[in-house]
Amino acid sequence: QITLKESGPTLVKPTQTLTLTCTFSGFSLNTFGKGVAWIRQPPGEALEWLALIYWDDNKRYSPSLKNRLTISKDISKNQVVLTMTNMDPVDTATYYCAREEGLDGMDVWGQGTTVTVSS
């Protein structure tokens, strides 16, 4: 069974750095073709893709947020970490991680973690 679970702070202050961890099981991120993506959804708004890391450590970032995002993986812990700098209230959202199976898409998602940015 494939599962992913997001963890991190529920509240951050403006200008702080957010660090989110995605812990997964049921697959290995050192297997050819596998990837883990981060997506967020602000309240009442659309889903927004943030970043993606592949099995070979190739990384992709949303162009609009590229300067603020860093994605990394720890194969030994089955974790993917996303950091987002200079948080702002507009970054308040539910953040999801999902397995990316290449052409089969983002097929399994975590339950999401809600992050509020407020002083």
Partner 1 sequence: QSVLTQPPSASGAPGQGVTISCSGSNSNIGRNYVYWYQKFPGTAPKLLIYRNNQRPSGVPDRFSASKSGTSASLAISGLRSEDEADYHCAAWDDSLSGWVFGGGTKLTVL
Which residues sit at the interface with partner 1, rule CB under 8 A?
A: 37, 39, 46-49, 52, 60-63, 96, 98, 103-112
Minimum gap (Å) between residue 51 Cβ and partner 1: 8
Minimum gap (Å) between residue 107 Cβ and partner 1: 5
By three-state DSSP, how is residue 62 classified? coil
Cβ closest to partner 1, residue 3 vs residue 16: 3
Cβ closest to partner 1, residue 9 vs residue 112: 112
Q: Which of 49, 35, 54, 42 has the alpha carbon at shortest distance from 107?
A: 35
What residues contact residue 84 under an 8 Å CB cut-off, 6+ apart? Answer: 17, 18, 20, 50, 65, 68, 69, 91
Minimum gap (Å) between residue 38 Cβ and partner 1: 10
Cβ closest to partner 1, residue 1 vs residue 63: 63
How many C-beta atoms lie closer than 10 Å to residue 109's C-beta?
15
- Residue 67 one-letter amino acid: N
Minimum gap (Å) between residue 46 Cβ and partner 1: 4
Cβ closest to partner 1, residue 9 vs residue 48: 48
What residues contact residue 93 under an 8 Å CB cut-off, 6+ apart? Answer: 40, 41, 42, 43, 45, 48, 114, 115
